[in-house]
């Protein structure tokens, strides 16, 4: 599935994005008790998000789905809690079997990685959402790196690369292409704009999925883009809500006070923090919290964190927003 061999301790941005998801769930928990939900995800070898769900919310019913048998066998050996069931299934097989007649609500995270399977991933998301019920929580992650469509180290012009990326996207999503062809062009297949193309594809799929549930509405709550190793990833988190309860739900969560609330399909937040040494982190943290002081804080370091001062300031701006979630990794001898 996803992340079968790379731990969160090597993926700062993904770790932070996961903590932001827990922060969102904590707000939802004020409105509806999620401790009795079933949690479903792609656990990988480390099952980190499962440990977090149990630790943060006391969730006891958890399913990890894994297509690779050797990974599933490692999961069963390494699983940290007895309440995790490690299933040897593809995401498609799980969705086909899934029914909204289950005993409890669900939090389901489809953590996709392969950029080549974007059409299948969109259609699986549509199929699953059509089976969800009121107050179920859905999260999905896609590869949104434009270079994963087409990249070349040769002398091709930027315009030629964009044209080849556009043709590649059209070939990959086929009949789904109609959802984006009138709103986007090949010039939108950039680092900043390509996530919006995928969000539009997902919005169209959600619209189709909700046709059979006229009393429910799917609310996208958070769209986050982050870099994961060499790839850019997009995560959307949302909830199915009765239309009659929407106003009370949004008021209770006070999402207008949460920096990462989006509430729509057009925009996203970016998580992109620098990898800091302990000394660098302690130096910066000694001047936080701060508002808009990335230029002043950058002067505390007698070097740049990136190849340009602009990029350094952008990294520090992100760090100032997210330092509370920044991981601290220490070597421990077991």
265 and 293 fall within a common domain: no
More confidently predicted of 4 and 323: 323
Rounded CA separation 137/109 (Å)? 9
Q: ∠ at Cα 281 (324, 227), nearest 5°?
A: 65
196-215 average pLDDT score:
97
Instruction: Provide the pLDDT for residue 296.
Output: 83
Any domain includes 334? no
Any domain includes 25? yes
- Cα–Cα distances in Å, from 300 out to 46, 278, 294, 303? 37, 15, 10, 9
Instruction: Provide the pLDDT for residue 8.
Output: 52
Instruction: Provide the pLDDT for residue 260.
Output: 95
Backbone CA torsion sign across 258, 12, 60, 333: negative
225 and 296 fall within a common domain: no
For 60-98, write each residue's pLDDT tens digit. Answer: 999 999 999 999 999 999 999 999 999 999 999 999 999
Any domain includes 234? yes
1-10, 280-289, 310-319: lowest mean pLDDT where? 1-10
For 118-130, write each residue's pLDDT tens digit. Answer: 999 999 999 999 9
Query: Which 3 state secondary structure label does DSSP give 153?
Result: coil
Any domain includes 294? yes
Report strand pairing: 61-66 vs 38-41.
parallel
Mean pLDDT (the chain) is 92
Q: What would you report as the CA-atom Rg of the chain, rounded to the nearest whole angstrom?
A: 20
203-232 average pLDDT score:
94
In this model, does residue 248 exceed pLDDT 80?
yes
Instruction: Provide the pLDDT for residue 254.
Output: 92
Percent pLDDT > 90 in the chain is 77
69 and 215 fall within a common domain: yes
Residue 101's pLDDT band (cuts 50, 70, 90): low
Beta bridge partners of 62: 39, 84
> Looking at the 3D structure of the chain, how many domains does it have?
2
269-277 average pLDDT score:
93
Any domain includes 330? no
Identify the CATH number of the domain in which residue 120 sits: 3.40.50.150
Instruction: Provide the pLDDT for residue 21.
Output: 97
169 and 297 fall within a common domain: no
Range(s) of the domain holding residue 233: 8-271
Angle between helices 118-129 and 158-173 (to 10 degrees): 50
Instruction: Provide the pLDDT for residue 142.
Output: 98
End-to-end Cα spacing for the chain: 29
44-57 average pLDDT score:
94
Consecutive H or E run containing 316: helix 309-322
Q: Which residue has the tokens 């660098």?
A: 280
Rounded CA separation 260/245 (Å)? 22
Rounded CA separation 218/129 (Å)? 9
Angle between helices 12-29 and 48-57 (to 10 degrees): 30
254 and 174 fall within a common domain: yes
The closest of 261, 272, 331 to 306, measured between CA atoms, is 272
In this model, does residue 43 exceed pLDDT 50?
yes
Any domain includes 332? no
Instruction: Provide the pLDDT for residue 2.
Output: 47
């Amino acid at each position: 599935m996803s992340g079968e061999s790379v731990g969160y301790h090597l993926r700062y941005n993904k770790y932070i994005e996961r903590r932001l998801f827990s922060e969102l769930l904590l707000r939802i928990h004020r409105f509806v008790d999620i401790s009795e939900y079933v949690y479903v995800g792609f656990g990988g070898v480390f099952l980190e998000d499962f440990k977090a769900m149990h630790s943060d919310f006391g969730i006891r019913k958890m399913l990890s789905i894994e297509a690779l048998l050797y990974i599933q066998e490692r999961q069963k050996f390494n699983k940290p809690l007895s309440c995790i069931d490690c299933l040897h299934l593809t995401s498609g097989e799980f969705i086909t079997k899934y029914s909204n007649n289950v005993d409890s609500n669900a939090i389901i995270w489809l953590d996709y990685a392969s950029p080549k399977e974007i059409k299948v991933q969109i259609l699986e998301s549509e199929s699953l959402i059509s089976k969800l019920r009121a107050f179920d929580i859905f999260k999905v992650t896609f590869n949104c790196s434009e270079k994963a469509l087409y990249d070349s180290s040769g002398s091709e012009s930027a315009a030629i690369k964009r044209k080849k990326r556009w043709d590649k996207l059209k070939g990959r999503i086929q009949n789904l292409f109609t959802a984006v062809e009138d709103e986007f062009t090949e010039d939108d297949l950039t680092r900043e704009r390509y996530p919006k193309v995928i969000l539009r594809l997902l919005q169209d799929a959600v619209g189709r999925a909700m046709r059979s549930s006229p009393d429910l509405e799917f609310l996208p709550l958070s769209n986050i883009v982050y870099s994961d190793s060499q790839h850019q990833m997009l995560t959307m988190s949302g909830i199915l809500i009765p239309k009659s309860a929407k106003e009370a739900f949004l008021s209770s969560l006070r999402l207008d006070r949460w920096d990462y609330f989006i509430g729509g399909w057009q925009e996203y937040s970016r998580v992109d923090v620098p990898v800091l040494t302990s000394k660098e982190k302690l130096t910066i943290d000694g001047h936080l919290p701060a508002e808009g002081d990335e230029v002043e804080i950058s002067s505390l370091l007698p070097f740049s964190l990136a190849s340009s001062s602009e990029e350094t300031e952008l990294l520090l701006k992100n760090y100032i927003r997210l330092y509370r979630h920044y991981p601290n990794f220490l070597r421990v001898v077991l």
